[in-house]
Amino acid sequence: MNSQMEEAPVQESRLLSLIQAKSGPLTQELSLTEGNFGLGKVPTKAQPDFATKMVCGFCSTGCSLTVHMKEGRAVGLTPSSDYPVNLGMACPKGWEALRVLEAPDRASQPLLRRSKTSPLLPCDLDTAMTVMTSRFKAILQEHGDEAVAFLSTGQITSEEMAFLGALTKFGMGLVHGDGNTRQCMATSVAAYKQSFGFDAPPYTYADFELSDVLIFAGSNLAIAHPILWERVLRNPNSPRTIVIDPRKTETAMAATDHVALAPKSDLQLFYSIAQVLVRMGWIDREFIDNHTEGFDDFAAFLADYSPEQTAGFTGIKAETVIELAKTIHQGKRVSFWWTMGVNQGHEATRTAQAIINLALMTGNIGKPGTGANSITGQCNAMGSRLFSNTTNLLGGHDFLNPEHRAKVAAALGIEVERVKARNSLAYHEILDRIREGKIKGLWVIATNTAHSWIDQRALLETFSKLDFLVVQDMYHSTETARLADLVLPAAAWGEKEGTFINSERRIGLVKKVSLAPGQALSDFNLFKLVAEYWGCGHLFRAWKTPEAVFQILKETTRNLPCDITGIRDYQMLDLMNGIQWPYTQKDSQAGPPTIERRLFADRRFYHVDGRARILFEKPRRPGEVPDSEFPYWLLTGRGTAAQWHTQTRTGKSEVLNKLSPQSLYVEINPVNARELGIPPGARVRVLSRRGSVIARAQLSHAIAPGQIFLPMHYAETNRLTFSEFDPYSKQPSYKACAVRVEPLAAS
Ligand code: SF4
């Protein structure tokens, strides 16, 4: 792909001189001829117009977009019609992916706050790097190796995540770092690891079109993953589509069945479905006996969870539960899908495993149209699961396992002593340590913690305790960047290259079709620069380009379930329209990878004995429930398909802004609105024990009486949410807390 590119001399030469000043003359291997270490190469006006395919940088669906180049500029895009993920479709965010690069608040130069009371002012990269490394080193020297941490993202490439993780832990000697992926899919990771023996979503997207029964739990697929919902609509089997969700979401409205359970009663509901399956003998005994462990204990445990016993808690009649179980029993190919309604709960891991149990006990796994399938959120959340080097050692390994440490050190060509036998704290534990004054330096990369973290007031108090906060982002205007002592300007999707892994384990390419503004550098190059200024650049001499890093990462996966040693290079990924893991060297000898592959066709799971585990636990109540003072459940979730997370990007598009409300709104059931004297469109105050927000009332029967709904995309929403965490995944429980609603005077 680089053959059509030419160098961008000004920015490259600045980077060169910066690095030369720190590490002496560049060696031949460090030359920038391939354009990856420096600012790369961009098409010239003299070149013929062309189009190139790349994976979208918003969500985990991983659609391919064809970018059209004219006179050296990316002038437009269209969804790629021959890509097995999106088949010629894209959602509004994808269509606007290039537009958001042009925003006026792009970070184009470093910004430094010279004292806590000073404003952020421009500085050069040399100053930024010198200040950052000297401040962090001083903190480490005074307070030890746990005193500086990082918070990363699911939005940068796997190669960049790996670089950050290796630089911080093997080069800078840090211990703690986590990602915003903790907020979206840590539960699925924990559930799969415990149940299957490895974090392994088993499905392929073709399964949406092959099932005859699809059950969606806590997933508003039509809004959160619109192209995947399109795949469901293409299903030729007239499938039964069942949505389990307290709210009548857009997906529930389009489904054949909506099961409107009480908030946070999903674990009880899944156990009651399992109880009926067992009681009626609607289970796959051969599969259970030969491929699982723990079923008999589970069957005994279920005695307390008959549909009649759980109905009072779940709000779901026994007949409905029995009908659900019967539908699963009668389905020939039943698939179970879940997203954040399950993942973001106080007992999320056991809830995800209750879904996995249903698939296992009915033998709905490893076959077309089946599976216990977590759909993840961010474009590279799956890359983060394998390669961020945060809570997993690179490649899906374990920091506490000496063989794993030796293998990863050998793959990286570093001394094994650099790989510490210590696990990182999870996101909220890092914040706790900051609050306690034990972590004093923080590096935040491509995430907007000050908007997205649960219980915002506590978060802001926590950040105020930091001695030094570095934020690396493509915009200088995010809520988090505005709190920083130093802002590092980062290139965006479309301005760099690397790989993303989508929800069905497909590794796809992102490419550089545009130059980053001003002094902004790819995250890859910013990490490279930090390494040089820190004095550990020699460890990363082989990490010349993202593709060189991809070759190293391949090696870390060897002999694991995610083994990708059969993928030759980026060109192969490009030619094959992405490749799903695993694809081993042995596989490659048998021929090119097939387009769609699912796991467990051989019925062997990744525990040593090859059996899946059936795991369960007594349900418990959430830490906060409605009471007389705060009588409503607050539910949160995605608002529209045109909005992405904290709207740092989607909020920059005129088109997307027209497709979504521009200020906070709250869905209230008309019955409750009447009781409270709230007319449609009125301003209301929503209060929790942690704060209050003003929103416009949207009266809707989509929300049940006693519940209200706020979309997650507005900064105000997390003023209300309640800090509670699943004990296994440590994922925050965003989905339910107690609030009250008050009408405000008309305006
Ligand atoms: Fe991009 Fe996701 Fe939309 Fe596809 S569905 S175009 S990956 S945001």
Q: Which domains are assigned to the chain?
A: 111-183+380-543 (3.40.50.740), 202-374 (3.40.228.10), 632-743 (2.40.40.20)
Is residue 424 within 8 A of residue 178, CB to CB? The reply is yes
Residue 17 confidence (pLDDT) above 70:
no
Q: Give the span between the Cα atoms of 702 and 712, in whole angstroms.
A: 17
Query: How many CB atoms sit inside 10 A of residue 655's CB?
Result: 13
Nearest alpha carbon, ligand 1 atom 6 = 94
Query: Which pLDDT belongs to residue 3?
Result: 35
The crossing angle, in degrees rounded to 10, of helices 523-534 and 158-166 is 20
Q: Give the span between the Cα atoms of 83 and 333, in whole angstroms.
A: 25
Ligand 1 pocket test, pick from 89, 91, 233, 653 with the greatest ligand atom count within 8 Å of Cβ, gives: 91
Mean pLDDT of 416-428: 96
DSSP 644-658: -TT-TTGGG-HHHHH
Q: Give the span between the Cα atoms of 274 and 321, in whole angstroms.
A: 10
Instruction: Give distance in angstroms: CA of 63 to centre of ligand 1.
Output: 6
Task: Please compute, for residue 619, the number of CA atoms within 13 A of its CA located in the half-sphere on the CB side.
Answer: 23
Instruction: Give distance in angstroms: CA of 104 to centre of ligand 1.
Output: 24
Nearest alpha carbon, ligand 1 atom 2 = 59
Is residue 85 within 8 A of residue 230, CB to CB? The reply is no
CA-only gyration radius of the chain, Å: 25
Ligand 1 pocket test, pick from 54, 100, 227 with the greatest ligand atom count within 8 Å of Cβ, gives: 227
Q: Give the span between the Cα atoms of 158 and 507, in whole angstroms.
A: 10
Query: Is the omega angle on the peptide bond into residue 631 within 30 degrees of 0, that is, cis?
Result: no
Can you give the length of the chain in residues? 747
Q: Report the alpha-carbon angle 83-89-95, nearest 5.
A: 110
Instruction: Give distance in angstroms: CA of 266 to centre of ligand 1.
Output: 28
DSSP 429-476: HHHHHHHTTS--EEEEES--HHHHSSSHHHHHHHHTT-SEEEEEESBS
The crossing angle, in degrees rounded to 10, of helices 402-412 and 546-556 is 150
Number of the ligand 1 atom closest to the C-alpha atom of 641:
3
Number of the ligand 1 atom closest to the C-alpha atom of 94:
6
pLDDT in tens, 551-583: 999 999 999 999 999 999 999 999 999 999 999
Nearest alpha carbon, ligand 1 atom 3 = 91
Q: Report in angstroms the alpha-carbon separations of 508 from 155, 227, 501, 745.
A: 14, 17, 6, 52
**Among 400, 328, 339, CA closest to 201:** 339
Instruction: Give distance in angstroms: CA of 334 to centre of ligand 1.
Output: 25
Mean pLDDT of 421-427: 95
Residue 73 confidence (pLDDT) above 60:
yes
Query: Which pLDDT belongs to residue 41?
Result: 46
H or E element at residue 676: helix 670-676
Query: Which pLDDT belongs to residue 644?
Result: 86
Residue 214 confidence (pLDDT) above 70:
yes
Residue 721 phi/psi, 5° resolution? -65, 160
Instruction: Give distance in angstroms: CA of 58 to centre of ligand 1.
Output: 6
DSSP code at position 331: -
Structure tokens at 72: 């050296």
Q: Give the span between the Cα atoms of 12 and 125, in whole angstroms.
A: 13
| Helix and strand counts by DSSP (H, E) for the chain | 27, 28
DSSP code at position 378: B
Mean pLDDT of 146-151: 98
Instruction: Give distance in angstroms: CA of 269 to centre of ligand 1.
Output: 32
pLDDT in tens, 580-599: 999 999 999 999 999 999 99
Per the listing, tokens 């070759």 go with 551
Instruction: Give distance in angstroms: CA of 92 to centre of ligand 1.
Output: 8
Ligand 1 pocket test, pick from 54, 55, 60, 61 with the greatest ligand atom count within 8 Å of Cβ, gives: 61
Per the listing, tokens 């009588």 go with 631
Instruction: Give distance in angstroms: CA of 414 to centre of ligand 1.
Output: 38
Mean pLDDT of 73-95: 95
Instruction: Give distance in angstroms: CA of 400 to centre of ligand 1.
Output: 37
Nearest alpha carbon, ligand 1 atom 1 = 94
Query: How many CB atoms sit inside 10 A of residue 175's CB?
Result: 19
Instruction: Give distance in angstroms: CA of 86 to centre of ligand 1.
Output: 8
H or E element at residue 66: strand 64-70
- Using pLDDT thresholds of 50, 70 and 90, give the confidence band for residue 40: very low
Number of the ligand 1 atom closest to the C-alpha atom of 91:
3
Ligand 1 pocket test, pick from 54, 63, 87, 96 with the greatest ligand atom count within 8 Å of Cβ, gives: 63
287 or 102, higher pLDDT = 287
List, chain by chain if needed, residues with CB within 6 Å of any ligand 1 atom. 56, 58-59, 61-63, 86, 90-91, 93-94, 226-227
- Using pLDDT thresholds of 50, 70 and 90, give the confidence band for residue 726: very high
Is residue 709 within 8 A of residue 666, CB to CB? The reply is yes
H or E element at residue 410: helix 402-412
Is residue 688 within 8 A of residue 720, CB to CB? The reply is yes
Residue 203 CA, distance from chain mean position: 17
Residue 155 identity (one-letter amino acid)? Q
Q: What is the mean pLDDT of the chain?
A: 92
Structure tokens at 662: 């521009």
Alpha helices in 24-103 (DSSP H): 92-95
Ligand 1 pocket test, pick from 56, 83, 232 with the greatest ligand atom count within 8 Å of Cβ, gives: 56
Q: Give the span between the Cα atoms of 107 and 255, in whole angstroms.
A: 43
Residue 403 confidence (pLDDT) above 80:
yes
Instruction: Give distance in angstroms: CA of 535 to centre of ligand 1.
Output: 40
Number of the ligand 1 atom closest to the C-alpha atom of 225:
5
Per the listing, tokens 């890359």 go with 383
Structure tokens at 247: 């709210």
Q: Give the span between the Cα atoms of 652 and 650, in whole angstroms.
A: 5
Considering all CA atoms of the chain, what is the largest pairwise distance in Å, rounded to the nearest integer? Answer: 76
Structure tokens at 249: 């979401």
Mean pLDDT of 487-505: 96
Query: Which pLDDT belongs to residue 14?
Result: 55
Is residue 739 within 8 A of residue 708, CB to CB? The reply is yes
Strands 213-217 and 665-668: unpaired
Ligand 1 pocket test, pick from 55, 58, 504 with the greatest ligand atom count within 8 Å of Cβ, gives: 58
Mean pLDDT of 377-383: 92
Is residue 355 within 8 A of residue 372, CB to CB? The reply is yes
Instruction: Give distance in angstroms: CA of 452 to centre of ligand 1.
Output: 20
**Bridge partners for 739 per DSSP:** 632
Is residue 414 within 8 A of residue 405, CB to CB? The reply is no
Is residue 646 within 8 A of residue 452, CB to CB? The reply is yes
Nearest alpha carbon, ligand 1 atom 4 = 63
Local structure of 484: helix, strand or coil: coil
Is residue 545 within 8 A of residue 36, CB to CB? The reply is yes
Instruction: Give distance in angstroms: CA of 61 to centre of ligand 1.
Output: 6
Strands 579-580 and 632-637: unpaired
Structure tokens at 625: 């429930």
Is residue 487 within 8 A of residue 476, CB to CB? The reply is yes
Q: Report the alpha-carbon angle 176-132-182, nearest 5.
A: 30
pLDDT in tens, 176-202: 999 998 999 999 999 999 999 999 999
Query: Which pLDDT belongs to residue 680?
Result: 97
Residue 189 CA, distance from chain mean position: 11
Strands 41-42 and 50-55: unpaired
Number of the ligand 1 atom closest to the C-alpha atom of 226:
5
Query: How many CB atoms sit inside 10 A of residue 316's CB?
Result: 23
The crossing angle, in degrees rounded to 10, of helices 158-166 and 546-556 is 80
H or E element at residue 450: helix 449-452
Query: Which pLDDT belongs to residue 6?
Result: 35
Is residue 287 within 8 A of residue 603, CB to CB? The reply is yes
Query: How many CB atoms sit inside 10 A of residue 323's CB?
Result: 16
Q: Give the span between the Cα atoms of 179 and 164, in whole angstroms.
A: 11
Residue 2 confidence (pLDDT) above 60:
no
Instruction: Give distance in angstroms: CA of 398 to centre of ligand 1.
Output: 32
Local structure of 115: helix, strand or coil: coil
Q: Report the alpha-carbon angle 116-118-121, nearest 5.
A: 120
Model-level pTM?
0.94
Burial label for 82, CB within 10 Å (0-12, 13-18, 19+), is: exposed
DSSP 495-512: EEEEEEE-TTSEEEEEEE
